[in-house]
Structure 1
């Protein structure tokens, strides 16, 4: 079974981890060490940022 390619770039994931306060865990132990709640919060924040970006683009049109 092949692994699916991620939707977020590694640099964006690290940026979110820093913003949400679990970057040190990722840096020391890898992505598998974060809590499910942290992963969910990361996805939620990524969606919020994408929605903001879309709203900005729509306002320019």
Structure 2
């Protein structure tokens, strides 16, 4: 199976990582260096942002 194309843009993921406090890990080790908990928190935050934007429209 090939690599899936990401839905979130790289700048958006970096912004979330900064907000959630693990951007330094991403800089040092790449996205593979973050914990599954951090990845889950990043997805959760992205969903919260999307829901907030939908409510505004």
Task: Tell me if both proteins adopt one fold, taking TM over 0.5 as the criterion.
Answer: yes
Structure-2-length-normalised TM-score: 0.97
User: How large is the RMSD of aligned CA atoms in angstroms?
Assistant: 0.5
SS of match in other structure, 1:2: coil
**Corresponding position of 1:49:** 49
Structure-1-length-normalised TM-score: 0.91
**Corresponding position of 1:2:** 2
Moved over 2 A (4+): none
Q: What is the aligned residue count?
A: 57
Unpaired stretches in structure 1, ≥5 consecutive residues: none
Unpaired stretches in structure 2, ≥5 consecutive residues: none
Larger Rg: 1
